[in-house]
């Protein structure tokens, strides 16, 4: 494939274990990532975007209706330059943090983390370049001012200092992060008895330890977490027919 953009981190985890309840009847019998936009499942847009970079491995962390994701990926994986790994939660309500921790400890490398309902609308080389020279894990953020969705990030100097929904916050988690393996390993060592937890637990640990920095992008984000945002993404795709 031509025009591949080189990144220093070659692995990405995509969280695909959610139920997608806010999409109502659209996810009655299919996982959120297979909801169609212009006759293409949403995950196609994500994978096509990732295929413009030199990723070696895409790890799909699945749960709800994982068999349908598996069946679909087996039909299309030949199109991509990276290898797609499907990892199913070992039990219901395993938690996004638990799934990421388990896979990260197995991988033993730094990795990207992307949400299964997010579409990245900026060049990943920008966050990758900052990560390569940083000692910290990074979260991409956007100055949202509670407009597109509820803001959930507060910044202080070069760090993220709060991570929860708050009407007084200006910034929002964009949907893609770069996580250092050493930070995940430290979290595991210091939380040996923790079970079935969400990514918020890991983010807040890094915040307390002052190990979570950020990359601020000026490009608005898109996601399909609810009907309104799905329609906005559909409009974006219609206006950008090359996506």
Using one digit for the tens of pLDDT, what is the confidence trace for 96-140?
A: 999 999 999 999 999 999 999 999 999 999 999 999 998 999 999
Are 79 and 50 spatial neighbours (Cβ–Cβ below 8 Å)?
no
The 10s digit of each residue's pLDDT in 167-224 is 899 999 999 999 999 999 999 999 988 888 999 999 999 999 999 999 999 998 899 9
How far apart, in whole angstroms, are the C-alpha atoms of residue 148 and residue 151? Answer: 9
pLDDT score for 1: 46
pLDDT score for 94: 84
How far apart, in whole angstroms, are the C-alpha atoms of residue 20 and residue 16? Answer: 10
Does domain 11-139+175-218 match CATH 3.90.550.10?
A: yes
Q: Which two tokens stand for residue 240?
A: 């950008």
Are 48 and 77 spatial neighbours (Cβ–Cβ below 8 Å)?
no
The 10s digit of each residue's pLDDT in 59-96 is 999 988 899 999 999 999 999 999 999 999 887 778 99
**Domain coordinates in residue numbering, the chain:** 11-139+175-218
């Amino acid at each position: 494939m031509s025009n591949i953009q080189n990144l220093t981190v070659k692995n990405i985890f995509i969280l695909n274990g959610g139920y997608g309840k806010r999409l109502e009847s659209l996810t009655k019998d299919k996982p959120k990532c297979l909801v169609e936009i212009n006759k293409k499942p949403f995950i196609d847009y994500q994978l096509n975007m990732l295929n413009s970079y030199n990723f070696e491995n895409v790890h799909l962390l699945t749960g709800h209706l994982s068999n349908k994701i598996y069946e679909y990926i087996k039909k299309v994986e030949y199109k991509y330059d990276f290898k797609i790994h499907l990892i199913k939660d070992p039990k219901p309500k395993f938690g996004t943090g638990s799934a990421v921790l388990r896979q990260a400890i197995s991988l033993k490398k730094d990795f990207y983390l992307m949400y299964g309902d997010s579409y990245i609308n900026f060049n990943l080389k920008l966050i990758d370049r900052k990560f390569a020279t940083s000692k910290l894990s990074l979260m991409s953020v956007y100055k949202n001012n509670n407009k597109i969705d509820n803001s959930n990030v507060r910044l202080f100097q070069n760090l993220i200092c709060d991570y929860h929904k708050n009407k007084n916050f200006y910034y929002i988690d964009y949907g893609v992060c770069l996580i250092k393996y050493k930070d995940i390993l430290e979290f595991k060592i210091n939380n040996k008895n923790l079970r079935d937890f969400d990514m918020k637990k890991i983010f807040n640990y890094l915040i307390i330890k002052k190990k979570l920095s950020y990359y601020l992008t000026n490009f608005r984000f898109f996601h399909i977490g609810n009907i309104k945002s799905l329609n906005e993404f559909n409009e974006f795709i219609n206006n950008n027919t090359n996506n």
